[in-house]
């Protein structure tokens, strides 16, 4: 009864309400099996429930944290609206979450993907230029969607990127992509936005993901590709080849150096994988 009242008064979408209801009901089922009333739940019982979620369902820390957030709100409601005196979440902390390392492609995989795009097919040249430019300059998918011809300085091989918060940064590009861009522009009427769909409208992030899905079907790559992987690969490969972290921060347009430091872990992982795969005694 209390759960229905709690869900009804929530100011949230139907999907969010359903998720909260399922998470809280799961906890209620757990304490019911132990013959524990809602107002008799203790700090220790909550700890047992967290252990149960990990052991029984092998849930990630992020999923457990989401369930705890729903339960905290529910018990706030019980204390404030229903007069329950017991609040068992006072000293309960969310499980420590391991930061997921960004997905990236190896250099050989980048080469395989780009070379799989047929430049003679309709939109083939556009797709090749678009994805290679994302890798060449570490662009976000939103930045590639909004890129205009006026932002490209062909004489100096430089792109002026407008990133988050309308902050500009300068990123160089190499000659091979310059030649492809010139060919693409010469073969298409480009008045403003550089990358358009079949209807002549600027590509959206969803449209680029769809194109990427179609292009990746022609490869045997190990991962499902998403546009941000080109940016992750750009950063990882630069660090692997000796780029300075502060320089990479500037190229990526990160406000905080800590955001860029995640790529150090990726590079270290790659270093360790290479070591264990190559060292004769490490193989034993």
- Pairing assessment for the beta strands 168-172 and 158-162 based on DSSP bridges: antiparallel
Last residue of one domain, picked from the residues 37, 66, 81: 81
Question: Do 59 and 124 lie in a common domain?
Answer: no
Reference 24, options 90, 74, 93; nearest CA is 74
Find the catalytic residue in 54, 72, 228, 270: 228
Q: Read off the CATH number of the domain in which 208 is found.
A: 1.10.443.10
Query: What does the longest C-alpha to C-alpha distance in the chain come to?
Result: 76
Find the catalytic residue in 164, 224, 272, 279: 164
Question: Do 153 and 235 lie in a common domain?
Answer: yes
54 is catalytic: no
Q: Read off the CATH number of the domain in which 42 is found.
A: 1.10.150.130
Question: Do 148 and 221 lie in a common domain?
Answer: yes
Question: Do 166 and 71 lie in a common domain?
Answer: no
Question: Do 76 and 131 lie in a common domain?
Answer: no
For residue 95, tell me if it sits in a domain: no
231 is catalytic: yes
Instruction: Provide the pLDDT for residue 133.
Output: 97
Question: Do 70 and 142 lie in a common domain?
Answer: no
State the residue for tokens 């009804």: 8
At 204-220, the pLDDT tens digits run 999 999 999 999 999 98
For residue 283, tell me if it sits in a domain: no
Question: Do 115 and 241 lie in a common domain?
Answer: yes
Question: Do 75 and 130 lie in a common domain?
Answer: no
For residue 272, tell me if it sits in a domain: yes
State the residue for tokens 């300085």: 153
254 is catalytic: yes
For residue 253, tell me if it sits in a domain: yes
Question: Do 153 and 210 lie in a common domain?
Answer: yes
- How far is residue 189's CA from residue 154's CA, in Å, rounded to a whole number? 17
- How far is residue 211's CA from residue 50's CA, in Å, rounded to a whole number? 41
At 124-172, the pLDDT tens digits run 999 999 999 999 999 999 999 999 999 999 999 999 999 888 899 999 9
For residue 228, tell me if it sits in a domain: yes
Last residue of one domain, picked from the residues 81, 98, 117: 81
Q: Above pLDDT 70, what percent of the chain? A: 92
Last residue of one domain, picked from the residues 65, 81, 97: 81
Instruction: Provide the pLDDT for residue 240.
Output: 86
Question: Do 46 and 178 lie in a common domain?
Answer: no
Find the catalytic residue in 126, 128, 231, 237: 231
For residue 60, tell me if it sits in a domain: yes
206 is catalytic: no
Find the catalytic residue in 126, 128, 140, 232: 140
Low-confidence stretches of the chain (pLDDT < 70) are: 1, 97-101, 267-275, 279, 282-284
For residue 102, tell me if it sits in a domain: no
Question: Do 270 and 146 lie in a common domain?
Answer: yes
Question: Do 10 and 61 lie in a common domain?
Answer: yes
DSSP string for the chain: -HHHHHHHH--S-HHHHHHHHHHHHHHHHHHHHTT--GGG--HHHHHHHHHHHHHHH---HHHHHHHHHHHHHHHHHHHHHS-----TTTTPPPPPPPPPPPP---HHHHHHHHHTS-TTSTTHHHHHHHHHHHHHHT--HHHHHS-BGGGEETTTTEEEEE-GGG-EEEEE--HHHHHHHHHHHHHS--SSBS-B-TTSSBPPHHHHHHHHHHHHTTS--SS---THHHHHHHHHHHHHTT--HHHHHHHHT-SSHHHHHHHHHHHHHHHHHHHHHH-TTTT-
Task: List the domain range (segments joined by +) for residue 24.
Answer: 2-81
Instruction: Provide the pLDDT for residue 269.
Output: 65
Q: What domain count does the chain have?
A: 2
């Amino acid at each position: 009864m209390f759960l229905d009242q709690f869900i009804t008064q929530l100011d949230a979408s139907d999907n969010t309400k359903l998720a909260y209801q399922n998470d809280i009901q799961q906890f209620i089922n757990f304490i019911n099996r132990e013959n524990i009333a809602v107002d008799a739940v203790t700090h220790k019982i909550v700890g047992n429930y967290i252990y149960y979620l990990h052991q029984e369902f092998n849930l990630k820390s992020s999923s457990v944290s989401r369930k705890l957030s729903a339960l905290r709100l529910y018990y706030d409601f019980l204390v404030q609206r229903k007069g329950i005196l017991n609040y068992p979440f006072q000293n309960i902390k969310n499980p420590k979450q391991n930061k997921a390392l960004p997905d990236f492609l190896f250099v050989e995989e980048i080469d395989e993907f780009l070379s799989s795009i047929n430049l003679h097919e309709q939109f083939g040249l556009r797709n090749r230029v678009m994805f290679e430019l994302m890798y060449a300059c570490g662009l976000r998918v939103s930045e590639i969607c909004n890129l205009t011809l006026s932002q490209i300085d062909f004489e100096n091989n430089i792109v002026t990127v407008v990133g988050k918060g309308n902050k500009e940064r300068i990123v160089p590009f190499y000659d091979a992509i310059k030649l492809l861009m010139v060919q693409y522009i010469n073969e298409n009427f480009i008045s403003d936005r550089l990358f358009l769909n079949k209807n002549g409208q600027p590509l959206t992030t969803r449209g680029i993901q769809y194109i990427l899905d179609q292009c990746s079907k022609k490869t045997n790559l190990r991962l499902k590709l998403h546009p941000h992987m080109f940016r992750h690969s750009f950063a990882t490969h630069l660090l692997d080849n000796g780029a300075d972290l502060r320089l990479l921060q500037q190229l990526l347009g990160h406000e905080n150096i800590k955001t860029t430091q995640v790529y150090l872990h990726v590079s270290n992982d790659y270093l360790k994988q290479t070591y264990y795969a190559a060292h004769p005694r490490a193989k034993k």
